[in-house]
């Protein structure tokens, strides 16, 4: 009987330890979102908890579209330090993203070599914006006024900075804020 109890307790301890290893990090409310990516694969934004996350609404036919190049450069340069860029294509501003998810994915890959995660086409404006936009708007008080509006989210999700479309991702102002958030653990 003692052997059985010992084995039972040992198995339970290993099970609890394994569960603790697999347990996800605490997910900030702003990232507690399930949706699909451009390839129609499920995406859980909680997977990015603990990272600095840059959320940007994108469009393929906008004067700001060349920002894709700077966004991809940021992603490649800072990804190892904990930055994730999440693109949210939207047709809400000037009908500048009319394509399907598949067409958008192809455009981003072939034109700008985009490797950072791109989510399915989203609604940014109107009565029912797609998640995570309601939380981002509430946290900052800033609603995107055009394509390529950027939200920079701290690792714990408590600090969210908003940047208008004309603030380039490689600008000194943006990089300074990014560096501050990356430095905090």
Options 11, 27, 46, 62, the catalytic residue: 62
What is the DSSP-derived secondary structure letter of residue 124? Answer: -
In degrees rounded to 5, what are phi and psi of residue 150? -120, 140
How many Å apart are CA 78 and CA 118, to the nearest integer?
Answer: 17
Residue 62 designated active-site: yes
What is the torsional sign of CA 110, 48, 183, 158? positive
Residue pair 183/154 in contact (Cβ under 8 Å)? The answer is: no
Any idea which residues carry the catalytic annotation?
62
């Amino acid at each position: 009987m003692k052997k059985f109890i010992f084995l039972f307790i040992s198995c339970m301890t290993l099970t609890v330890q394994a569960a603790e290893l697999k347990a996800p990090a605490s997910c900030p409310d702003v990232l507690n979102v399930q949706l699909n990516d451009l390839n129609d694969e499920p995406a859980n934004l909680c997977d990015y908890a603990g990272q600095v996350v840059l959320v940007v609404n994108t469009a393929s036919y906008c004067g700001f579209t060349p920002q894709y190049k700077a966004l991809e450069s940021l992603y490649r340069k800072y990804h190892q330090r904990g930055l994730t860029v999440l693109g949210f294509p939207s047709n809400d501003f000037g009908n500048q993203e009319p394509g399907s998810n598949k067409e958008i994915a192809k455009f981003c890959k072939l034109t700008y070599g985009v490797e950072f995660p791109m989510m399915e086409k989203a609604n940014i404006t109107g009565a029912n914006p797609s998640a995570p936009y309601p939380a981002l708007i509430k946290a900052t008080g800033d609603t995107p006024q055009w394509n390529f509006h950027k939200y920079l989210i701290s690792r714990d999700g408590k600090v969210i900075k908003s940047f208008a479309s004309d603030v380039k991702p490689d600008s000194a102002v943006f990089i300074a804020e990014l560096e501050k958030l990356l430095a905090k653990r």
